[in-house]
Structure 1
Amino acid sequence: FLSGHTGMKIHTPNIDRLAASSMIFTNAHTPAPACAPARAAILTGVHHARSGAENVYWGDGPKWREFDALKDVVTMEQFFKQQGYKTLGAGKIYHSQAPPWTPTSQVEPANWDFYYPSVYISHPYQIRAPKDVIYPEDVDNKSRPGGEGWWTWGPIPVPDEKMADYHVVDWASYQLAQKHDKPFFLAVGMWKPHDPWEVPQKYFDMYPLENIVLPECKKDDLEDAFDHGRRWIHKWVVDNNQWEKVIQSYAASITFSDAMVGRLLDAFEKSEYAENTIVVLWSDHGMHMGEKENIEKFTLWERSTRVPLIISVPGLTQAGTKCKQPVSLMDLYPTLVDLTGFDKPSHLDGRSLLPQIKDPNTRTSPVMTSYQFTWTEQPITGHAVRSIRYRYIYYPEINLEELYDHEVDPKEWDNIAYKKENKGIIEEHRKVMLDMLPQLTWREGSPDGYSIDKDGNVRKDNFESN
């Protein structure tokens, strides 16, 4: 419904159904282009650029509590529990891994009245595709990104009923069919379309390889931009003739996930809670399918930060309305508090979207996404600001800035940050970053490892073309 892949129809009839009866935020962005920091930020209400939880933070248990800024904050589900709500959760809400991988869960047990399958293993067992499907003999599996166990794709010869997300939706549907003696906060986390992109065969059949459309990409697109350190992954995909299969598998995973959303919506609409319950659908990050020489996420460009966000509020949202203003998933916590009539906790970095729900043309301020890159030779932190027209990115350690004008460059192909005429725009977006991170500074001169010509064109020194 966000027209995420030009030239292909991605089948999402159930999400489309929800969108048609709700408000769609078409310019919504994640605080982080990775699962762990995004989810910790959204659910605690503290942006990870302030808390320090800027990268994938592995480990079992609520490890995010180990950051000083998050040690005592009241999380979203904790807040509603304190207000007398029953808190019910299932699947991937906080960062987790499911068996057969190392079972970890960053859910905080005390915050939930019940969690399926458990607060300690927060997602059911995931069936994998056969090894000869995910590790075919005609590719170089020795140099394969992700090694064995991760970053794989291919059809699974099982029906939907065998899939982990099906079980999560079964449990949530059961909860919706029960009589609850107090209001509830129900969080339903589906793993797909996160990799591995392995779902039942019928979803692959919807996307024949001969119909797959590769994304439009600009040659040497990274010459004037940040090198995210993942070009080798994209090169492996291309060299091993897997690009079309990656897109097919991701599309299939999206449509499988949509089918699970449909099952949940059916149960919700049949329940006694359909007319008095707020519904929110969101995803924690976007996804590259080859753009910017990247497969997957982990960047500060539009493909990684833009996310679906749909909100339905009985008696308030107008069916099918769209808000084009920039908003952040950090806004979910204060919005839900506002909609339920409580006073907002003082620690929240987001803002309530109630004004936009009432009038989608109500202006918002730009939103910020941050990430610490570890695919590079040395860890590098970056911050991005998305306004209604521009994307501005700053990498302090290397003094690199990027600016893209979405009115003329929606694919973010041309970095215009060093054009003299854009100095005022740069300053405006710097101020947004300083509001969040007042300690940020900017150095004079060219970025480290880049040169700027007299016309303001920036180029990476010794750039290697693929």
Structure 2
Amino acid sequence: MKFKPLSHVSFRMFGALTALCAFCASVSTAQQAPSNQQEEALNIVMIVVEDWSAFAIGAYGNEVVQTPNVDRFAETAVVFDRAYCQGPVCNPSRASFVTGLRPDTTRVYGNGEEMDDFIPAGAPSMAEILSRKDGAYLATTGKIVHKWEDAGRFAKGYDFLEYSHPYDKPPGFEGELRFLPWVQGGPREPEEEAFYLADKEMARRLREAREERDAKLAAGAEDNWPLRKPFQQLHAEQLGDSGLPAEMMEDGRIARSASGLLADLAKREEGPFFLSLGFYATHTPLLAPKEFVDLYDSDEMELSPATPSKDVKVPQVARRNGRNYDIFNGFYPEFDPTPERERKALASYYACASFVDAQVGIVLDAIEANGLADNTIVVLFSDHGFQLGEHGMWSKYSLFEQSTRVPLMVRDPRAKANGQRCDEIVELVDLLPTFCDFWGLEKDSLFEGVSFAPLLDDPQQEWKQAAFSMIPIGGLGRGVRTRDFRYAEWRKDKAHATDQSGEVVHELYDLTRDPLEQVNVVDDPLYQEQVRYLSQLLREGYHAAQP
């Protein structure tokens, strides 16, 4: 069913009234496992979507984007309005939530740091920990870690591993390995989707760039970033119609594979199962099947009012020094961010959101169809957000709200608060400790997150004071987000916030007055008490903000 797109975007604030009413539970009560965790362990389905902004989901207030499946799911789940990632780029975020550790501990700050090489030996692992549950069966398909070939030891514990790219069996993995089923007539690998483009000129240019790269490799060139850059940067600039039907695209294949897995898992008679599945849209290239592209008229898209010209004392490093690292990357001047192309990019992003929503719907329907709704916990979230032109920025990779805030919805059939919203702060690093509570497993002493399971019964109880995120730009930026403020410090190296030496760039935004973070008030005399408090909180770290 198609809906006529609206001509404007309005982001409503949900849950504020309930958050102001009262915090009626004591800290000791908050630390107790809720009643819905005392019963027999249920199955867990974890759905993670790449780059999906909370600001591009109907259930989070966007009145233009069409996400009917997730919106319906939200009506039956606990919706977290203040959920944050620890690293607003794929690799550090995923390294964090599969270990329950923060980037300073995983040592994975960006996409170039391989999990197997950087994460210390003995770090917790989601699959290994959950596999300790008696009778449990663990399966995964799609994208969970950044690359399995860089994170092979974190595959240990899965009984079934399916991926869309061919790769060697991870060392130590003893389960079943399968390549995502190929659809006759479709691309065998996601990269090949570029050549199915409805935009034949772009497809031609991509083919030429790839052939040039392949020729250099054949001649003995090193497969490095400078060699891959022309193809990959051009690849990121694609917008609109993929030229493929949904079932041939990678996410369509993942959803259909997951549906089949759920049908098989429903027949199991011993122990719960854990199914983790990862979708790629809304990551660039912003391509979707035509039926979803047709939902949005580029000419009707309204661009963000948070233009760079309205930024006041916002430091350049916070805006990536004027660079985009993905779409609008500057490598091809003809794809510079003109208003017309930005509107097309926004419409294409929404089309991808609607496409991935439909794939999530296939999975949710399979849970219902196979009689799993009453004994399966469903957790839906994104690894990080996505800048949609705010401050002149596109894609992730910033400490602004659009990059660090993520959608997070949890439906436990036994939870008392299903259908309600939670305005308390939670973080993705909290997911693994929460899963331990779901299955009654002992939490690893190294965990740096805290289970938010109590909030599923009482979402209004007082919880964390703040969320912490970091990103490697110009060294390293570290941010702390409280209910009303965001404070950040940027240093020229990766020194901890406790190190006060050297040049530091500071930011402070009052999001009660400035929700788009356009006025840096760090030097305003009226905010110096907040600056002192938040700088101290950033130095003390997450321990000082725990519930």
For Structure 1 versus Structure 2, the TM-score category normalised by the shorter chain is 0.7 to 0.9
* Alignment equivalent of 2:249, drawn from 163, 181, 190: 163
Task: Mark the CA change 1:151 to 1:182 in structure 2 (over 3 Å): closer, same or farther.
Answer: farther
| 1:78 corresponds to 2:145 | no
CA contact (8 A) 1:90 1:123 kept: no
Give the corresponding residue for 1:112: 158
Distance apart, 1:280 and its partner CA: 0.3
1:228-377 correspondence to structure 2 within 5 Å: 228-229=319-320, 231-233=322-324, 237-239=336-338, 241-363=340-462, 364-373=464-473
Root-mean-square deviation (CA, aligned residues, Å) is: 2.8
CA contact (8 A) 2:320 2:398 kept: no
Task: Mark the CA change 1:352 to 1:17 in structure 2 (over 3 Å): closer, same or farther.
Answer: same
CA shift digits 1:101-157 (9 cap, x unpaired): xxx56353423111113796498522225284573999xx99999533334222022
Partner Cα separation in structure 2 for residue 268 and residue 123 of structure 1: 23
Partner Cα separation in structure 2 for residue 146 and residue 225 of structure 1: 30
CA contact (8 A) 1:133 1:155 kept: no
Partner Cα separation in structure 2 for residue 46 and residue 276 of structure 1: 29
Distance apart, 1:400 and its partner CA: 1.0
CA contact (8 A) 1:91 1:123 kept: no
Is 224-233 or 148-157 further displaced after alignment? 224-233
Q: How many percent of aligned residue pairs carry the same amino acid?
A: 27
CA shift digits 1:33-75 (9 cap, x unpaired): 10011000110111012332111126xxxx31322x5321121
* Alignment equivalent of 2:141, drawn from 65, 70, 90: 90
Higher relative contact order (CA 8 A, sep 6+): 2
CA shift digits 1:366-416 (9 cap, x unpaired): 01001112xxxxx42001111111111111334111111111111111111
Residue 424 of structure 2: SS of its match in structure 1? Answer: coil
CA contact (8 A) 2:95 2:106 kept: no
Q: Which amino acid aligns with 2:76?
A: S
Q: Which amino acid aligns with 1:324?
A: D
CA contact (8 A) 1:123 1:164 kept: no
Task: Mark the CA change 1:230 to 1:212 in structure 2 (over 3 Å): closer, same or farther.
Answer: farther
Q: Which amino acid aligns with 1:184?
A: F
Partner Cα separation in structure 1 for residue 239 and residue 201 of structure 2: 6
Partner Cα separation in structure 1 for residue 120 and residue 527 of structure 2: 37
Q: Which amino acid aligns with 2:541?
A: M
Distance apart, 1:86 and its partner CA: 1.1
Partner Cα separation in structure 1 for residue 198 and residue 376 of structure 2: 43
* Alignment equivalent of 2:518, drawn from 413, 424, 442: 413
Give the corresponding residue for 1:24: 79
Residue 343 of structure 2: SS of its match in structure 1? Answer: helix
Distance apart, 1:285 and its partner CA: 0.8
Give the corresponding residue for 1:446: none
Is 201-210 or 119-128 further displaced after alignment? 119-128
Unmatched segments (≥5 aa) in structure 2: 1-10, 12-53, 168-177, 181-188, 210-228, 493-502
CA contact (8 A) 1:23 1:311 kept: yes
Partner Cα separation in structure 2 for residue 361 and residue 391 of structure 1: 22
Unmatched segments (≥5 aa) in structure 1: 98-103, 374-378, 439-466
Q: Which amino acid aligns with 1:413?
A: Q
Instruction: Tell me the TM-score normalised to structure 2 length.
Output: 0.71
Partner Cα separation in structure 1 for residue 281 and residue 385 of structure 2: 13
Distance apart, 1:273 and its partner CA: 2.3
Give the corresponding residue for 1:218: 307
CA contact (8 A) 1:286 1:303 kept: yes
Higher helix share: 2
Is 296-305 or 226-235 further displaced after alignment? 226-235
Give the corresponding residue for 1:455: none
Task: Mark the CA change 1:176 to 1:190 in structure 2 (over 3 Å): closer, same or farther.
Answer: same
* Alignment equivalent of 1:49, drawn from 90, 93, 104: 104
Distance apart, 1:351 and its partner CA: 0.9
CA shift digits 1:321-363 (9 cap, x unpaired): 1111121111111111112222211111111112222211122
Residue 293 of structure 2: SS of its match in structure 1? Answer: helix
Q: Which amino acid aligns with 1:46?
A: L
Q: Which amino acid aligns with 2:393?
A: N
| 1:148 corresponds to 2:234 | yes
* Alignment equivalent of 2:509, drawn from 374, 381, 404: 404
